[in-house]
Amino acid sequence: MIFWLQLAVNRGALNPNNVMATTQIEKRDETEVDRFHNRRTLPLRIEFSEDGTYKHVGRTEGYGINEGHWQKYTVAVKNTTSNEIQDVQLWLTAIDPVPQEVAGYIPLPLHVTHASPHVSTMTLTAQERRLVDVVSFFNKFWQPDILLEHTSPVTKRECYCGDDGYEIELMVKGIGVRPSKRRFRIGVEARNLFMTSLDQPSEEAMLEAFET
């Protein structure tokens, strides 16, 4: 990685004064993997950061056993082109190990944040970005499961949270552009939902990203 950093600096592309982040939960530097993917020049790009920006928390309504906190992770899908892209969807295309609740139903379309239930398709104008729900967790003593935020009516959203979590692959696609993919690890640790990047970018791809 020293080789890549030196080249990036020589090209004048690495300027820490241009990096700003607004955090909701915790303050952590953007990882090298996230920096690469959030700047990579793809027609449709999956953006994510582990600094807390994409983690959302709240309290459920109710009292007693119905009271608790919810946690949810989203990713952003961005149209990096100068044209409108229609029928954009983010899919859960792989999960390992496969929970028995969704076995045989992969791939699954994921829900567009703040849209009506079961909405997984959107149109993105030039340079527009929108959030898509990925996974959530309700911190109640009687509900240890995670919820995959898919919109399929034929299978469950609730899945066993797993002892070691899951590795997942997300794919975004739209009309007239090539799809792009990104991998993550999701799970629950000490009753806190986590989601981290797994893809390791190559030096050549990172240089391509910073050249643009």
pLDDT of residue 70: 86
Digit-coded pLDDT (tens) for 158-171: 888 777 899 999 99
Q: Compute how many other C-beta atoms are within 10 angstroms of the C-beta atom of residue 79.
A: 25
Angle at 133 between CA 127 and CA 136, to 5 degrees: 155
Domains of the chain, earliest start first: 2-211 (2.60.40.10)
Determine the straight-line distance between the first and last CA of the chain, rounded to whole angstroms. Answer: 19
pLDDT of residue 141: 58
pLDDT of residue 190: 83
**How many CA atoms lie less than 13 Å away from 210 in the CB half-sphere?**
21
- 3-state DSSP assignment of residue 130: strand
Q: Give the C-alpha separation, 66 to 62, whole Å.
A: 5
Q: Which of 138, 116, 141 is nearest to 58 (CA)?
A: 138
pLDDT of residue 150: 96
pLDDT of residue 143: 57
User: Two tokens at 164?
Assistant: 């070691």
User: Two tokens at 30?
Assistant: 């953007």
pLDDT of residue 19: 36
pLDDT beneath 70, residues of the chain: 1-30, 36, 39, 60-68, 140-144, 200-212
The residues near 125 (Cβ < 8 Å, ≥ 6 apart) are 79, 84
